[in-house]
């Protein structure tokens, strides 16, 4: 929920005071339905599946992996893993890094 709040906060016009921004966002969040949160989680999983192609347990050696959205599609012997195996903390970190990369790429294209 905090992750969604922070993402929404970035979309509020900057000329508003912090209090006005927070009030507007709290209002928006009160209108969220459980389905909205589920959709956000699914979208996050889709992004993670698209951007992750390697993994490491020791941060020195990396193995190629493929993440899938459905548990039935996984095949650990072929390094095909279900995204649901990742902790929410790891998912958030991967998603944040992907979004930073997208923002940087967008800014580079705008300057081109």
Angle between helices 2-9 and 18-30 (to 10 degrees): 130
Residue 17 confidence (pLDDT) above 60: yes
What is the pTM for the complete model shown? 0.66
On the question of pLDDT at 7 being above 70, the answer is no
Q: Each residue of 68-107: pLDDT tens digit?
A: 999 999 999 999 999 999 999 999 999 988 888 766 666 6
Q: Average pLDDT, stretch 25-52?
A: 84
Q: What is the DSSP letter of 15?
A: T
How confident is residue 22, by pLDDT bands cut at 50, 70 and 90? confident
26 burial via Cβ count (<10 Å: 0-12, 13-18, 19+): exposed
């Amino acid at each position: 929920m905090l992750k969604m709040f922070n993402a929404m906060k970035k979309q509020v016009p900057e000329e508003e005071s912090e209090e006005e921004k927070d009030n507007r966002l709290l209002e928006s969040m009160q209108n969220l339905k459980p389905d909205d949160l589920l959709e956000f989680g699914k979208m996050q999983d889709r992004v993670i599946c698209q951007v992750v192609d390697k993994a490491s347990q020791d941060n020195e050696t990396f193995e190629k992996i493929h993440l899938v959205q459905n548990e039935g599609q996984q095949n650990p012997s072929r390094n095909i893993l279900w995204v649901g195996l990742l902790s929410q903390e790891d998912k958030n970190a991967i998603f944040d890094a992907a979004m930073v990369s997208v923002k940087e790429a967008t800014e580079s294209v705008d300057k081109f």
